[in-house]
Structure 1
């Protein structure tokens, strides 16, 4: 069972003379000690973390792919190529960001596109309703993309 201890400023926890932790002793988050300077909060996990099970399943999937592979040299080469591609794209983005005019131009393009999107889909009620209906239809049946 995991636990976390945090110290919060009084402005977040106090509402006048009473605290926000009156009836929270039964919940997984409760105040242990309260004073005017700080409050110690303890949060306890109720069950297993889904992130750890997801990472374990990813590791098992990679291990199974490695065990089933007949050409391990090619698989290692693909892994190395993926790492090099991530490194190169990071350096490319960093180089573009250092150019004096391009980040400003891209920012203006982003702002103009946001304005166009608001004008086209959100500003007027019929367009807003059509956009909302499209999102609802897509959420109900994701195969419509």
Structure 2
């Protein structure tokens, strides 16, 4: 990240809040993405339609934003992996993230967005653990020789 983007961050935050609020108000469900994805795969089939629609909406919304940014503002939003970063560490990080969301009974969207908005103490603790773990992990990966 080389520059501050307050308007796109504000717009993204508003859209996340709006979508989480609408899912709660209209469907009575918390927008915990890991839980929605897990239940789509292993949950009850009668609940799969809204879960699939929600997840497809996330992907489609990102694709639309990417197309608009690229067409109107000539912005390259293509994610770039860190050069020289071992792919095995990316795979291990993904597996650790999946395990952590199962262990914490939720992810950053469920706890950090929806749980904190509902003043959940459990979500506040979980979000603090997420942030502390991210800070420590980033320190090790960026500053410990041999992990770079």
Smaller-chain TM-score bracket: under 0.3
Q: Which has the larger radius of gyration?
A: 1
Task: Specify which structure has the higher proportion of strand.
Answer: 1
RCO higher in 1 or 2 (8 Å CA, sep ≥ 6)?
A: 2
The TM-score with structure 1 as length reference comes to 0.25
The TM-score with structure 2 as length reference comes to 0.25
Task: Specify which structure has the higher proportion of helix.
Answer: 2
